[in-house]
Amino acid sequence: MGKAYIVGAGPGDPELITVKALKCIRMADVILYDRLVNPDLLTEAKRDCEIIFCGKQPTHHTMKQEIINDLLVQFTSQGKTVVRLKGGDPFVFGRGGEEAAALAENGLPFEVVPGITAGIAAPAYAGIPITHREYGNSFAVVTGHCAKGKPTDIDWESLGKAVDTIAIYMGIGNLSYICQQLISHGKTEHTPVAVIEQGTRVEQRTVTGTLDSIGDIVEKEGVQNPAMIVVGDVVRFREKLLSLQGDASVPDIVTSEEVMAM
């Protein structure tokens, strides 16, 4: 009998993958990988490894989740070492739980290898700490896109009143709706917002504004998916870091090493 590994590849920078995840890639007989996985990581696979693309976009799925589950079961049942390689962390909006359940229901061995999630890493690379004792002591991770499109099932009232910082995944297409809901349920229209495109990759760029202005800014700048939305006063800390650097126009990337050196 084989074994499946549900592996988090991290948010985009290939150097952010864990040691254990890299070991899994190197020993895999089959890799099923997602759209947001950095392709550089696939060069670590064995020469005879079978590599299958399973990518999904917000409005287009190359492969349905049910088919991915079936492939995991099929290859693992054949005695192969199978790696399901997913961007970020497989259990943070990655459907890793569904894949683990499919394997468990078929009595197949599997292991989950956590990864660094974009909701923490992308803000960090933009100079935004997801928590800070002066700016925010609580945070929530939220999906900005549901099966029906707009995230209508989210408890916006609780988020608006009880959480200091909100990290929103997959929300660009519903940004106006999200901002409207947060303003309607407790956040002021002047609450700072950052949108981080291509977080942790060399193409990363960040735009900032407020709940009442960020929609226009994102449209003007042509910000596209994948992008993280961060709502809360912690966004102000980015400007503080940039001012300490002596040039508020310094572009991304603000790396962790640069931040620590200040």
Whether 1 is catalytic: no
**Active-site option among 34, 86, 89, 228:** 34
Distances (CA, A) of 158 to 161, 163, 168, 178, 188: 5, 7, 15, 14, 14
Residues contacting 78, CB < 8 A, separation 6+: 2
Classify residue 63 by burial, with Cβ atoms within 10 Å: 0-12, 13-18, 19+.
Answer: middle
**Active-site option among 170, 187, 228, 252:** 170
Where would I find the beta strands (DSSP E) of the chain? 3-8, 30-33, 50-53, 56-57, 60-61, 81-86, 110-113, 139-143, 165-169, 192-197, 205-210, 227-231
199 touches 11 (CB < 8 A): yes
228: closest CA among 136, 152, 139, 103?
Answer: 139
**Active-site option among 3, 20, 23, 56:** 56
Q: How far apart are alpha carbons 16 and 73 in whole angstroms?
A: 28
Whether 34 is catalytic: yes
Two structure tokens written together for 66: 């049910």
Whether 212 is catalytic: no
Which amino acids are annotated catalytic?
Answer: 34, 56, 170
